[in-house]
Structure 1
Amino acid sequence: MRAVWLHEFGGPEVLVPGEAPDPVAGPGQVVIEVAFVNVTFVETQFRASGQGPFRPELPMIPGNGVGGVISAIGDGVDPGLLGKRVVSSLRGSGGYAERVAVDAGQPVEVPGGLDLDLAVALLADGRTASMLVDRAGLTGGERVLVEAAAGGVGSVLVQLAKAAGATVVAAAGGAHKLELAADLGAEHVVDYRKPDWTDRVREAVGGVDVVFDGVGGEIGAAAFELVERGGRMFSYGLASGSWAEIPEAAAEARGVTVGAPAASTPEELRGFVQSALAKADAGALRPVIGQRFSLDKAADAHAAIASRGTVGKTLLVP
């Protein structure tokens, strides 16, 4: 089968298409015929430096999320799974390929009315956004600032926060991204590439009750200053290259809760995926797929994400 290999860490060009053995469904496993591959910002960081939540040995096939149809089953697996449309995480590697083998309990079935590409777009980003909104405990009337609001997670956060009754302020870079965030339901949009962006937020809503920080660095630190007493700030990404440095004393002085979302059990994470898929199937959540690349062009996909010019989810198509 065709796959994309990582033999060394470095720029996007280290992602090299090649051949790999077809996976076989062992006992308790299924093989998924991959139709779409989820590409995340975390994967671009891992490719560049080897840093990330997973550290498989090189050479390896990267990729942690796919969607497709179950085409083979191993011993002890329910034959009824054959032909099911599913999305699945892969525990860190193997996704940039035409086929993958996973434990039979890992895939999540895709609702019948939801296109498979949209389901893949929600596998990682819908799970993360759903977890963040759950942890934030949003209530109606709260003011929520979403950074990187046109990105994969941010575009879902805008919609979920809006559905929870919040007033959403979307921060992103450039007119096209701001238009997208407004179209998804943000009442106010600000360009955080401009030096006075925090002033624009204050003019629109005063302070904010919740920040979802997907950028980190100086942007995240500036967003913290907008959080009012007793508010919450959740960091889930570092598009800037570093986490926001928030002085603990400053947070305590204003009673602001700062942190990353707490780790979840596998069952809870699965539930967040199912929740996002169900909302999309019902028309209550619109995944944004901004760009697609053929599997052999995985390097181009990584380069596009690194350029900060992408919107929504980036997919590979085998």
Structure 2
Amino acid sequence: MRAVRAVRFGAPDVLTVDTVEDPVPAAGEVLVEVDLAGVAYGDVIVRSGRFPLPLPWIPGLEVAGRVLALGPGVDEALAGRTVVATTVGRRGGYAERALTMAAYTFPVPDGLPLDVALTVFQAGAVARGLLSAMRLRADDTVLVTAAAGRIGSLLVQQARVAGATVIGAAGGAKCSAVRGFGADHVLDYTANGWSDRVRELTDGRGADLVLDAVGGEIAEQAIIATADGGGRIGFYGYASGTWPTLDVQAIGRRGLTVSGPLGIVIRKPDAEQRDDALQALAAAARGELTPHIHTRFPLEQAAQAHRELEERRSVGAVILTR
């Protein structure tokens, strides 16, 4: 079969299409014929060498397609089904066939387009888990940075469904997309004084709950925009390439709670993580979650898909197709 591999870490061009052996499902595994694969920013981080994994490496955490074979002990009801799934070892999705974990292989609800199911089942589950970990309340004002991103856009939508007031922050032209996702207010975080604007929109208080995936200076401004005396801020990524510098004394003085909610999400019991994915798919089927698909690339253009993310041109999800 054809698969995208990296034999070394570096620029996007280290991703090449090679011919490799078809995988064989072991106990608890499923073999899926991949029609679509998600391209995540985590793939970019690994490929660049910032979080190296064993080589040769086939990227790809999320896939969608038809079940071809089942490993021992897997429910026969999955045979031949159209599914979305998480790959074994969080790798192997950029290929014509991939191994997935049976426990995280989900039949696509009737009537839900395959690309929507792919882009919502994992990202929507993460967004749901992040908001739960941060104790979202209906009376909160929520600030979401990277609100035009794959997870950020779903955070905006789910927080709104929960009744919260949402301030979405993004860069430049991406702000128009954030409005489309339903944010009550949209701020351009490339503009000077954007964190002051959060204070103005909240009558001087600041945001009750902040979720940041940008890191660096943007995250530091988001801390400034967090409400004193009980504001919660969670860091779940660093698309800028650096984590923020934290002034622990100021955090203590202001009475902020700082956390890493993604670490909470990925350590939840398997049953809870599976339920989050099922709930995300159900919400999409009801029309409550509408993921934005930025663009699609054929398998041979995986390097270009990585450039799209790395150069921060994407709004929503990037997908590889066969």
TM-score, normalised on structure 1?
0.94
> Which residue identity does 2:66 align to in structure 1?
V
Instruction: Please say if 1:68 is aligned against 2:68.
Output: no
Cα shift readout 1:248-270 (whole Å, capped 9, x = no counterpart): 22222222110111132222222
- Residue number in structure 1 paired with 2:146: 148
Secondary structure of 1:230 counterpart: coil
Task: Determine the C-alpha separation between the residues in 2 that align with 1:59 and 1:78.
Answer: 31
- Residue number in structure 2 paired with 1:79: 76
Task: Determine the C-alpha separation between the residues in 2 that align with 1:236 and 1:315.
Answer: 22
- Residue number in structure 1 paired with 2:223: 224
- Residue number in structure 2 paired with 1:245: 245
Task: Determine the C-alpha separation between the residues in 2 that align with 1:284 and 1:180.
Answer: 17
Deviates more, 1:225-234 or 1:122-131: 122-131
Instruction: Please say if 1:203 is aligned against 2:200.
Output: yes
Instruction: Pick from 180, 183, 186 the counterpart of residue 189 of structure 1.
Output: 186
What is the RMSD computed on CA atoms of the aligned residues?
Answer: 1.5
> Which residue identity does 1:294 align to in structure 2?
P
Secondary structure of 1:66 counterpart: strand
8 Å contact kept, 1:108–1:270: no
Instruction: Pick from 288, 293, 299 the counterpart of residue 289 of structure 1.
Output: 293
Task: Determine the C-alpha separation between the residues in 2 that align with 1:221 and 1:71.
Answer: 48
Using the TM superposition, give the Cα deviation of residue 204 of structure 1 relative to its aligned residue in structure 2, in angstroms. 2.1
Distance change (3 Å), C-alpha of 1:151 and 1:103: closer
- Residue number in structure 2 paired with 1:111: 109
Cα shift readout 1:290-318 (whole Å, capped 9, x = no counterpart): 11111111000001101111110111112
8 Å contact kept, 2:78–2:107: no
Cα shift readout 1:184-230 (whole Å, capped 9, x = no counterpart): 11111110011121122222223110111111111101111111120
Task: Determine the C-alpha separation between the residues in 2 that align with 1:87 and 1:129.
Answer: 17
Question: What does 1:14-163 align with in structure 2 at a 5 Å threshold?
Answer: 14-51=14-51, 55=53, 57-90=54-87, 91-163=89-161
> Which residue identity does 1:208 align to in structure 2?
A
Using the TM superposition, give the Cα deviation of residue 27 of structure 1 relative to its aligned residue in structure 2, in angstroms. 4.1
Cα shift readout 1:268-290 (whole Å, capped 9, x = no counterpart): 22221111111001111111111
- Residue number in structure 1 paired with 2:170: 172
How many percent identity over aligned positions?
A: 43
Instruction: Pick from 270, 289, 293 the counterpart of residue 266 of structure 1.
Output: 270
Secondary structure of 1:105 counterpart: strand
Using the TM superposition, give the Cα deviation of residue 72 of structure 1 relative to its aligned residue in structure 2, in angstroms. 1.6
Deviates more, 1:192-201 or 1:99-108: 99-108
> Which residue identity does 1:292 align to in structure 2?
R
8 Å contact kept, 2:86–2:101: no
Deviates more, 1:198-207 or 1:232-241: 198-207
Distance change (3 Å), C-alpha of 1:272 and 1:171: same
Using the TM superposition, give the Cα deviation of residue 122 of structure 1 relative to its aligned residue in structure 2, in angstroms. 1.6
Instruction: Pick from 268, 281, 303 the counterpart of residue 307 of structure 2.
Output: 303
Secondary structure of 2:208 counterpart: strand
8 Å contact kept, 1:87–1:120: yes
> Which residue identity does 2:61 align to in structure 1?
N
8 Å contact kept, 1:181–1:189: yes
Total equivalences in the alignment: 314
Task: Determine the C-alpha separation between the residues in 2 that align with 1:37 and 1:243.
Answer: 28
Task: Determine the C-alpha separation between the residues in 1 that align with 2:217 and 2:109.
Answer: 40
Structure 2 gap segments, 5+ residues each: none
Secondary structure of 1:287 counterpart: coil
Using the TM superposition, give the Cα deviation of residue 10 of structure 1 relative to its aligned residue in structure 2, in angstroms. 0.2
TM-score, normalised on structure 2?
0.93
Cα shift readout 1:40-63 (whole Å, capped 9, x = no counterpart): 1111011001516xx2x2112111
8 Å contact kept, 1:65–1:123: no
Task: Determine the C-alpha separation between the residues in 2 that align with 1:299 and 1:43.
Answer: 11
Cα shift readout 1:228-256 (whole Å, capped 9, x = no counterpart): 12010011110111112222222222221
> Which residue identity does 1:58 align to in structure 2?
L
Task: Determine the C-alpha separation between the residues in 2 that align with 1:93 and 1:266.
Answer: 19
Secondary structure of 2:230 counterpart: strand
